[in-house]
A and B are shown apart, each in its own frame.
Chain A
Amino acid sequence: MTENKEPILKVEDIHISFGGLKALNGVSLAVHPGQIFAIIGPNGAGKTTMLNVINGVYTPDEGRITFEGQERPLKMKPHHVAALGISRTFQNLALFRGMDTWSNIMVGRTQKMHSNFFSQGIYWGMSQKEEIKHREAVEWIIDFLEIENIRKQPVGMLPYGLQKRVELGRALAAEPKLLLLDEPMAGMNLEEKEDIARFILDANEELGYTIALIEHDMGVVMDISDNIAVLDFGNKIADGTPEEIKANQKVIKAYLGEAEESG
């Protein structure tokens, strides 16, 4: 339904190398609004590098990045990228471990807050209204992710699967135009994976978020993605719908080492 629209994010011909290692070698991607877009590939294929390029952690050597039709400078601070409307989660969790779930998610609202330190301190007029609005948004996300029971618990004490969920909540709190998820299901058991997959689908279908994610678990990716790009050694070797990817010989080779004929 969204295929004929302009892509929300277009990266073209991205090159980046660390020392002698070419991490990305002329990779282009296009994410369309309303999509769940997955980037897959074996270890060291350049998946996380790609996310880091998109949200400004790395500056690519060459290429073009266009977000919502506007080309952005290649060198850009992550928080400026966040202000454009791109938020992300991390593979190895980056939460404030000593703060509770509620506060961690509230941090995600920072970009949306307008009143300054002093008016917040007085808590009157506009800033009071704003506070209520933000609290409502946070509570809405807590309800959405079904984490009411850990609202007031320090996230450092939570099991890993729940921490991942909190991190997703924080990314959602920013109400991003594009949500980047770095291995949202890594290290989870089957049940936790199914839960997260459902939240990702709900965020996409119910809340209308555009999502780009990296994932190892092929099964889940195939089930939930609209479009998939496959990276291998810094090159994009395939791009298409899950069905196309499943049938692609190059992909099979990259994952299994050797294409096998089944008898």
Chain B
Amino acid sequence: MVESADTFPKILLQNAQKFGKNKIAIREKDYGIWQSFSWQDYHDHVRDFALGLASLGFKRGDVIAIIGDNRPELYWGMSAAQSLGGIPVPLYQDAIERELHFILEHSEARFALAEDQEQSDKLLSLKKEIPRLEYIFYEDPKGMRNYTETFLMSFAHIEELGRKFAEDNPNYFEDEISKGKADDIAIIAYTSGTTGNPKGVLLQHHAAVDAARAFIAFENLTEKEEVMAYLPMAWIGDHIFSYGMSLAAGFAPNCPEDTSTVVHDTREIGPTFIFCPPRIWENWLTQVMIKMEDAAWIKRKMFHYFMGVAEKTEKIRIANEPVPIGLKILYQIGRILVYGPLTDNLGMKNVRVAYTAGEAIGPEIFEFFRSLGINLKQLYGMTESCALVSIQKDGDIESDTVGTPVPGVDIKISDNGEVKYKSPGNFIGYYKNEEATRETLVDGYVLSGDAGYITKKGHLKIIDRAKDVSTLIDGTIFAPKYIENKLKFSPFIKEAVAHGQGKEFVTAFIDIDYGAVGNWAERRHIAYTSYTDLAQKPEVYDLVYEAVERVNKSLSEDEKLKGAQIKRFLLLHKELDPDDGEITRTRKVRRKFIAEKYDNLIDALFTGKDAVTVDATFTYEDGRTTTMKADLKIRDAETF
């Protein structure tokens, strides 16, 4: 009986028995070919690596840090640590040393598993300051020949040690797995956090296993699904979808060859279940739009006509009303001529279930993909709940809500408008951070920190971070993220930061989308040399002006938010960058930091100047910094 297995390693043993060599457990594209590993292979690698770890003194409760792109070996490393009662701590692969330092120190990791030379180098230089870190392992031996450190070993070497260890301890692996309990810690997932240091979210096996099973039951997923494993392993979404659910359902995650080949590799796989943060859906939409601009006129005409048909159809479908027969026929023609080829091109022809999560998605973007026939749904979840809180049900979709609670989850709205929930995936606390735990976990409910409400149809609607919601001087509700998201729905705007707390009106910083605006400028023969140069072109200001105007118009339709229209804006000289600390790795704006760093820009926005000079400091990945000066124009926007 499958349900009896209450930890991931136990599930792995079952999978190896049930599927053996007959079912692919994980694939990786390497040397241009999809290399496949069966559940038996998966099991054997995990066993060998686990025993190798054991031979080096890995004990129950030990922590192994894992850093790199999605690779089978790294997933196996996670599973191996769990098999021995240890705890994996996945890290963001593009994190700079300062961030890694904190987590390695805080998690008390004795072991670390890195993907390649680049990641090993980071760990090696950190090891000098973190004596507790004893061993570093690497998966890809390329470039590692001149490293003589004895504590640095390849993944394959550890497996070899494991096979030797198995000769003397034949039952060690199974014994250790059977010692595992459902309430052992399965993983510490560090959340990037918009303020202060990252927090280590303690998730138990039963939480992660139950969450994975809840998703599988909710969407009727089977071992036949194909999933792309391309999002950072440190993100809880990847951990649940690519690791946990793969184990629980038996399906295979597919690791792309390289971050730069994800799009191509996705097309080759044709996933059936897909999950992306909104910015990736946005990227796709932007790509499609750019390509359509370049297409022959007849294709362009056809595309726009049939997208109109699809949109109309989708609006009717969402409202759960019958689609008129004429429209139905047109939609079928469109499917042959446009939607089919387009979804195939995106690699989404086989998608049964698609999720967007992590941030709000623009209604236009959401409806675009849905109207193509992709079953895109919004999911609301957090690291603190193993990503499991609410999902839109098939046939019960609203474009601006995050759906209804998943069975087993209880959602409440507290008196101050904050969303709180009790989910089977709930965490048990932040590692070594009592205070944050007390603030967040109250009577079994997680305080999400998000402001939201339940709509008449029982859907959860998220407005903004609760602590970010404030008022203008005249008392109008000011929800910055709500406004920023509306701005970001424009394909030309990548990021935005709205200001207005305690002020008379609302202003905004805007980051243009370099790709989309660059393309737009080239089309109009507008020459530019750099991001900074492009952003300050009057034509680009005009372009953004129109987008701001549209946002203001839509805000003016909401009685409550009418007063919070954007009066003035400026285009920033650089993209907001996690390396500079302006946004988190998951691309959430760090308001306080930005307010301090750019206080002179904000002043200028509110004092009626029409230009402002900025001294900018850039931080490279290796920690070096450089400065430059730029003049930024300020523009007044139309309000309604």
Residues of A within 8 A of B264 (CB): 149, 152
Q: In the assembly, what is the distance between CA of A140 and CA of B145, in Å?
A: 18
The interface bits of chain A over 121-161 (1 if a CB of B lies within 8 angstroms of the residue's CB, else 0) are: 00000000000000110011011101011011000000000
**Interchain CB contact under 8 A, B143 and A148:** no
The reply to whether B260 and A149 contact each other, CB–CB distance below 8 Å, is yes
Rounded to whole angstroms, the CA-CA distance of A233 and B127 in the bound complex is 52
- Residues of chain B with a CB closer than 8 A to A206's CB: 142-143, 145
Is A148 a contact of B142 with CB atoms below 8 Å?
no
Check if A202 is an interface residue, CB within 8 A of chain B.
Answer: yes
Residue in B closest to A139 when the chains form the complex, CB atoms: B31
Let me know if B30 is at the binding interface, CB within 8 A. Answer: yes
Contact A142-B146, Cβ < 8 Å, known A148-B261, A149-B261? no
Interface residue from B30, B32, B143, B146 paired with A151 (Cβ < 8 Å): B32
B258 at the interface (CB under 8 A from A): yes
Flag whether A205 is at the interface (Cβ < 8 A). yes
Q: Is the beta-carbon distance between A205 and B146 smaller than 8 angstroms?
A: yes
Q: Is the CB of B142 within 8 A of A144?
A: yes
- Determine if B582 is an interface residue (Cβ-Cβ < 8 Å): no
Task: Answer whether residue B1 sits at the interface, using C-beta atoms and an 8 A cutoff.
Answer: no
Q: How far is the CA of A142 from the CA of B146 in the complex (A)?
A: 22
| Contact mask for chain A residues 198-219; partner B; CB cutoff 8 A; 1 contact, 0 none | 1000100110000000000000
Query: What 0/1 readout, one digit per residue, does chain B (245-263) give for beta carbons within 8 Å of chain A?
Result: 0000000000001101100
User: B298 contacts the other chain (Cβ, under 8 Å)?
Assistant: no
Q: Are B31 and A140 in contact (CB-based, < 8 A)?
A: yes
In the complex, are the beta carbons of B261 and A143 less than 8 A apart?
no
CA distance A139 to B32 in the complex (A): 6
B33 at the interface (CB under 8 A from A): yes
Q: Mark B137-169, 1 if CB is under 8 A from A, else 0.
A: 000001101100000000000000000000000
Assembly CA distance A102 to B33 (angstroms): 13
Pair B143/A202 contact, Cβ less than 8 Å: yes
Chain A residues whose C-beta falls within 8 Å of the C-beta of B145 in the assembled complex: 205-206
Kindly state the interface size class of chain A when it binds its partner.
10 to 19
Bitwise, B230-273 to A at CB < 8 A (1) or not (0) is 00000000000000000000000000011011001000000000
Among B30, B31, B142, find the residue whose CB has the most chain A CB atoms closer than 10 A.
B31
Whether B146 lies near A148 (C-beta < 8 A) is no
Task: Provide the bound-state CA to CA distance between A143 and B261, in Å.
Answer: 13
Q: Is the CB of A143 within 8 A of B31?
A: yes
Minimal beta-carbon separation of B518 from chain A (angstroms): 16
Q: How distant is the Cα of A65 from the Cα of B402 in the complex, in angstroms? A: 76
A142 CA to B258 CA, complexed, in Å: 12
Q: Which residue of A lies closest to B30 (CB)?
A: A143
Indicate if the CB atoms of B33 and A148 lie closer than 8 Å: no
Q: B27-44: contact bitstring with A at CB < 8 Å (1 yes, 0 no)? A: 000111100000000000
What chain B residues lie within 8 Å of A140 (beta carbons)?
A: 31
Min CB–CB distance A230 → chain B (angstroms): 28
**In this complex, what residue of A is CB-closest to B261?**
A149
Which chain B residues border A205 with CB–CB below 8 Å?
145-146
- Least distance between B316 CB and chain A CB atoms (Å): 41
Residues in A neighbouring B261, C-beta threshold 8 A: 148-149
| Contact (Cβ within 8 A) A149 B143 | no
A202 to B145, CA, bound (A): 9
| In the complex, residue of chain B having the shortest beta-carbon distance to the beta carbon of A206 | B145
Complex Cα distance, B145 from A152, in Å, reads 30
A142 cross-chain contacts in B, Cβ below 8 A: 31-32
Q: Which B residues touch A139, using CB under 8 A?
A: 31-33
> How far does the alpha carbon of A102 sit from the alpha carbon of B145 in the complex, in Å?
27
Q: How far is the CB of A223 from chain B (nearest CB, A)?
A: 14
Chain A's nearest CB lies how many Å from the CB of B258?
Answer: 5
Q: Which residue of B lies closest to A142 (CB)?
A: B32
**B31:A136 contact, CB within 8 angstroms:** yes
Q: Could you tell me which residues of chain A, from 25 to 82, have a CB within 8 Å of some CB in chain B?
A: none
Q: Which residue of A lies closest to B256 (CB)?
A: A148
Kindly provide the distance from the CB of B482 to the nearest chain A CB, expressed in whole angstroms: 37
Contacts of B33 in A (CB 8 A): 139
Closest to A138 in B: B32
Find the A residue at minimum CB distance from B29. Answer: A148
A21 CB to closest chain B CB (Å) equals: 42
Q: Is the CB of A149 within 8 A of B258?
A: yes
Inter-chain contacts of A202 with B (CB < 8 A): 142-143
Chain B nearest Cβ from A207, distance in angstroms? 10
**Residues from chain B with Cβ under 8 Å of A143 in the complex:** 30-31
Interface centre among A149, A198, A202 (most CB of B within 10 A): A149
Contacts of B257 in A (CB 8 A): 148
**Using Cβ atoms and an 8 Å threshold, which residues of chain A touch B30?**
143
Q: How far is the CA of A149 from the CA of B32 in the complex (A)?
A: 10
Contacts of A198 in B (CB 8 A): 143
- Of all chain B residues, the one with the shortest Cβ separation from A140 is B31
What A residues does B146 contact at CB under 8 A? 205
For A149, the chain B residues whose CB sits under 8 A away are 258, 260-261, 264
Query: A202–B142 Cα gap in the complex (Å)?
Result: 9
How many angstroms between the C-alpha atoms of A243 and B264 in the bound complex?
A: 48
Bound-state Cα–Cα, A140 to B33, Å: 11
Within 8 A of A (CB), among B276-306: none
Q: Which residue of A lies closest to B263 (CB)?
A: A149
The CA of A202 and the CA of B146, in the complex, are separated in Å by 10
A64 CB, nearest partner CB in chain B, Å: 36
Contacts of A135 in B (CB 8 A): 32
Closest A residue to B258 by beta carbon equals A148
* Neighbouring B residues of A146 by C-beta, 8 Å: 258
Q: Nearest Cβ distance between residue A159 and chain B, in whole angstroms? A: 14
Minimum C-beta distance from B154 to chain A (A): 14
- Within the complex, the shortest CB–CB distance from A52 to chain B, in Å, comes to 33
List the A residue with the shortest CB-CB distance to B31.
A139
A–B Cβ pairs within 8 angstroms, 9 of them:
A102-B32, A148-B32, A148-B260, A148-B261, A149-B258, A149-B264, A202-B143, A205-B145, A206-B145
- The interface of chain A, by Cβ under 8 A from chain B, is 102, 135-136, 139-140, 142-144, 146, 148-149, 151-152, 198, 202, 205-206
Closest 10 CB pairs of A and B: A149-B260, A139-B31, A139-B32, A148-B257, A149-B261, A148-B258, A148-B261, A143-B31, A206-B145, A149-B258
A142-B31, A143-B31 given; 19 more Cβ-contact pairs under 8 Å: A135-B32, A139-B32, A139-B33, A140-B31, A142-B32, A146-B258, A148-B32, A148-B257, A148-B260, A148-B261, A149-B258, A149-B260, A149-B261, A151-B32, A202-B142, A202-B143, A205-B145, A206-B143, A206-B145
- B interface list, Cβ under 8 A from A: 30-33, 142-143, 145-146, 257-258, 260-261, 264
